[in-house]
Amino acid sequence: RVEADGLASTILTKCDPHWGAYFHYEQDRSFTVREAARIQSFPDHFIFYGNTAEQYAQVGNAVPPLLAKAVGLSIKRMLEQ
């Protein structure tokens, strides 16, 4: 189980207990696609396509948007110097 106010670990491409998925801090279930996407910093309006397994794979394989933004801004600052 994750801690409600703790840090999240790597989001996997399969939210299945047999693959080491993390369980909801309070309920007896793994994360939903939307919850996994939130942990990855995707906004709620972002749409994932395909069946549930394909959506989990998209979230798990993605670079978190806020991480990508931070890297991009860092590169931009370096290029502007």
Q: Give the separation between CA 75 and CA 18, rounded to whole angstroms.
A: 39
Helices (H) and strands (E) in the chain, counts: 3, 0
Say if CB 71 and CB 42 are below 8 A apart.
Answer: no
Q: Give the separation between CA 66 and CA 19, rounded to whole angstroms.
A: 26
* pTM of the shown model: 0.81
Cβ-in-10-Å burial (0-12, 13-18, 19+) of 56 comes to: buried
Summarised one tens digit per residue, pLDDT across range 27-56 is: 888 889 999 999 999 999 999 999 999 999
